[in-house]
Amino acid sequence: MHFFTAALTTAALLDAAQGANLANAPFESIQLTPSDIGKFSALQFGDLKQQAAQQSFRTNCRAFPGSSDWPTDAEWKQLNVSLGSALLRPIPVAAACYQGDFYNATTCQFLVQQAGRTHFWIDDPLTVLTQWPQGSTCMPVLDAVGNCTRGGFPEYVVNATTVKHIQAAINFARNKNLRLIIKNTGHDFGGRSMGAGSLSIWVHNLKSFEFQPNYTSDIYNGMAVRIGAGLESWEHFNHMGESGNISVVAPGGGTVGAVGGWLSAGGHGSLTSKYGLGADQALSINIVTADGRFLTADTKKNKDLFWAVRGGGPSTFGVITSVIMKARPAINITSIPLSFAINMPTPLPANLTFPPNPNTITTAATPDAFWAGINLAYRYSNKILDVGGYCFSYIYPLGPANSFLFTTSHIIPGITATAATALLQPLFTQLLALGINATLPPIPPPINTRYHSRLFPRQNWDDDALFAATFAGVRAGVEAGYNFHGIAYSPTKQVAGYPGNDSAVNPAWRNTVLHGSLMEIQAVGLSAQAAQERVANAKKYTDMWRAVTPGAGAYLNEGSPDEPGWQQSFYGSNYGRLLAVKRERDPWGVFWARTTVGSEAWEVRTSDGYPSSQNGRLCRVERPVFGGV
């Protein structure tokens, strides 16, 4: 039982005062009580043992607005009362662009032209940054045609600011057979933070940060932080400075959540080759599980969960509320950019994620020199990884035939700028021999992209023929018109340390030297059939990548929800063990998101035709491949 009591808070405060521990986040002390349940029985906790004994009970579909089991208005109202008015039923903001009750040209203009330059989208309870999972409906566009429908957006949203809100939402969803989703920043590329007809737990406002310079537990002594599930990376960086300039592994994208989907699926950042993945930093995790209980998972308590949540996928085992992570002394980081092009048009096309300053781009003389330069740069990146560095790169097709641009940033922590320059000098010298002389990068716009991922292993770099075959596959994808996004890092088991080395992180990652993504940027308004054709076409190139990396994996967060054999690609040999934890901890299948553990037992039935759209009802599939949950 984890009911809120005065004794519990006092103990937590005492621990903090001794400087040996980190208290729970302030919002974690407010929990669901027997009195709340007494007033509204739909908030009853789940009974794992009883559920395990009742495996024959199977519902075919989750409730959906209009279905006979959808909660009544009175029940929604009562839920809102239990939540202290934190229940929202937001209208999609882009309704302002469509004829009807919510039409407002001024608002629409703001959404299309200004909102992307502000924090607006991140603070919206519905919006996710990748639009296609919505089912191509109610996009923020000027001169919109058709009607704005809710699409893949949830029906109701709990604006969670306490653990009690989360417990009530989970219990209500489980007891009422609702589809439940979790949304933090909405950065997920595969529609995992949205779902039609769902109740959403919005964790965005669970902001907290606490630094402990002398955290002591039986597995770790040293600097640590506890961060709340709503904290964004840029806020995290600010706190790191305020706390006396510490560094914690965090996402590179400033508005990505510093816990959420990032840590749950692994999570890389510029210190990953030095200290490991986001998941590798976790010492203790507070989480609300499918039965509605608030638990702490670490190396002593709820060990199965502690193992699974670190890398075993987002929105699968519970709602994480806060995490204690290792912190390190401040470290200087040198970033050395490089970019070169072939047949570069002026101006550069507008669809580049990180457009460099055109005046600083060197050009290669021939396509072969360009691609030889690409091979040199990527092969050289292992030297950066071996000193703890990270390389962040793109190869863009620019439109005209044989017109390409390569940009990268070599990000090297803990050595002087002089030493970093010296380390890279041989690469620049070799490039110069190819006639390529160097460049600079800055800020990403919101995009409607389908991502496809591969974690390329070190052995592909150690073998000349395999390396050549690998980059022939990369080149083919770019020549076919896709952006290539490569991030070189090396989160070995060794740098992961303990307890990072004993987690559900995709084993493929421990041997990775380059995370490659094929990025397919889609125009708003693309037809469902065209979207299907494009997904099928992209697969031709990722098939080439898979062919040269048998048994390797892919990164869920920057991969495709249509990844073939995703169980192996995203989880590797951990899949079976993760499925066992899922069945034990969530026998109801309360948590569901595409390509998460156990998700094969369910599918979204949509009539819009867009691959992996979330615009439909969630129902059981007839014959799940792995059994699922």
Ligand X SMILES: Cc1cc2nc3c(=O)[nH]c(=O)nc-3n(C[C@H](O)[C@H](O)[C@H](O)COP(=O)(O)OP(=O)(O)OC[C@H]3O[C@@H](n4cnc5c(N)ncnc54)[C@H](O)[C@@H]3O)c2cc1C
Bridge partners of residue 405, in order along the sequence: 341, 396
Member of 261, 278, 397, 477 binding ligand NAG (CB under 6 A): 397
**CB under 5 to 8 A by kind: which of ligand X, ligand NAG, none does 85 bind?**
ligand NAG
Q: Is 312 in the site for ligand X (CB under 6 A)?
A: no
Smallest gap from Cβ 464 to ligand X, in A, equals: 30
Which of ligand NAG, ligand X, none sits in contact with 482, Cβ below 5 to 8 A by type? ligand NAG
Choose among ligand NAG, ligand X, none what residue 147 binds, the Cβ cut-off being 5 to 8 Å by kind.
Answer: ligand NAG
Among 24, 82, 137, 161, binds ligand NAG (CB under 6 A): 161
> Of 351 and 363, which CB lies nearer to ligand NAG in the complex structure?
351
Which of 125, 133, 186, 477 binds ligand X (CB under 6 A)? It is 186
Residue 587, by phi and psi: left (phi above 0), alpha (psi -120 to 50) or beta? Answer: alpha
257 binds, among ligand NAG, ligand X, none (CB under 5 to 8 A by kind): ligand X
Q: Which is nearer to ligand X, 267 or 311 (CB)?
A: 267
Q: Tell which positions 180-209 bind ligand NAG, by CB under 6 A.
A: 205
Q: Which of 243, 557, 612, 614 is the binder for ligand X (CB under 6 A)?
A: 557
Check: CB of residue 55 under 8 Å from CB of residue 49. no
Token digits of residue 325:
């992570």
349 touches ligand NAG by CB under 6 A: yes
Q: Which of 179, 226, 239, 268 binds ligand X (CB under 6 A)?
A: 268
Distance CA(201)–CA(57), nearest Å, equals: 26
Distance of closest approach, residue 193 Cβ to ligand NAG, in angstroms: 16
Beta-sheet pairing, 333-342 with 362-363: parallel
Only one residue has tokens 């018109």, namely 481
Closer by beta carbon to ligand X, 260 or else 356: 260
User: Which is closer to ligand X, CB of 187 or CB of 379?
Assistant: 187
By the 10 Å C-beta count (0-12 exposed, 13-18 middle, 19+ buried), 441 is classed as buried
Q: Which does 252 bind (CB under 5 to 8 A by kind): ligand NAG, ligand X, none?
A: ligand X
Nearest to 152, CA basis, from 611, 529, 520: 611
Q: Does 573 bind ligand NAG (CB under 6 A)?
A: no
Q: Which of 444, 551, 564, 565 binds ligand X (CB under 6 A)?
A: 444
318-326 and 328-329 beta bridge pairing = unpaired
Tell me the C-alpha to C-alpha distance, in Å, between residue 496 and each of 76, 253, 311, 437. Answer: 45, 21, 12, 36
Give the one entry of ligand X, ligand NAG, none that residue 568 binds, where binding means its C-beta sits below a cut-off of 5 to 8 angstroms depending on kind.
none
Q: Edge-to-edge, what's the strand order for the sheet holding 390-397? A: 362-363, 333-342, 404-413, 390-397, 483-488, 512-521, 449-457
Q: What is the DSSP string of 549-585?
A: STT-B--GGGS-TT-TTHHHHHHGGGHHHHHHHHHHH
506 makes contact, choosing from ligand X, ligand NAG, none, with CB < 5 to 8 Å by partner type, with none
Among 157, 173, 203, 384, the residue binding ligand X under the rule CB under 6 A is 203
Beta strands 198-202 and 156-159: pairing type?
parallel
193 binds, among ligand NAG, ligand X, none (CB under 5 to 8 A by kind): ligand X
Structure tokens at 298: 């670490």
Closest of 103, 195, 95, 104 to residue 139, by C-alpha: 95
Asked whether position 482 contacts ligand NAG by CB under 6 A, the answer is: yes
238 binds ligand NAG (CB under 6 A): no
Residue from 257, 311, 441, 561 touching ligand X (CB under 6 A): that is: 257
Spatial separation of the C-alpha atoms in residues 292 and 298, rounded to whole Å: 19
| Shortest separation between residue 120's beta carbon and ligand X, angstroms | 15
Q: How far is the CB of 247 from ligand X (least distance, A)?
A: 15
Whole-number minimum distance, CB 209 to ligand X, in Å? 15
From candidates 90, 152, 154, 269, binder to ligand X by CB under 6 A: 269
Instruction: Give the DSSP H or E segment for 452.
Output: strand 449-457
Q: Which of 175, 335, 351, 448 binds ligand NAG (CB under 6 A)?
A: 351
Residue 538's H or E segment, with its range, is helix 528-547
One of 76, 78, 109, 253 touching ligand X (CB under 6 A): 253
Contact status, residue 552 vs residue 455, Cβ threshold 8 Å? yes
Sheet of strand 179-183, all strands in order from the earlier edge strand to the far edge: 87-88, 156-159, 198-202, 179-183
Q: For residue 319, which phi and psi values (nearest 5 degrees)?
A: -100, 110
3-state SS assignment for residue 342: strand
User: Least CB distance from residue 403 to ligand X, whole Å?
Assistant: 26
Under rule CB under 6 A, residue 308 binds ligand NAG: no
Q: From the list 8, 40, 78, 252, which residue makes contact with ligand X (rule: CB under 6 A)?
A: 252
Question: Taken in order 223, 229, 232, 238, is the CA torsion positive or negative?
Answer: negative
As a dihedral over the C-alpha atoms of residue 460, residue 465, residue 468, residue 473, rounded to 10 degrees, the angle is -70
> By the criterion CB under 6 A, which residues form the site for ligand X?
129, 181-189, 192-193, 203, 229, 251-253, 256-257, 259-262, 264, 267-269, 314-315, 319-320, 444, 557-558, 593
> By the criterion CB under 6 A, which residues form the site for ligand NAG?
20, 80, 85, 87-89, 104, 106-107, 125, 146-147, 159, 161, 205, 214, 216, 241-242, 244-245, 330-332, 349, 351, 397, 399, 432, 437, 481-483, 493, 498, 501-502, 521
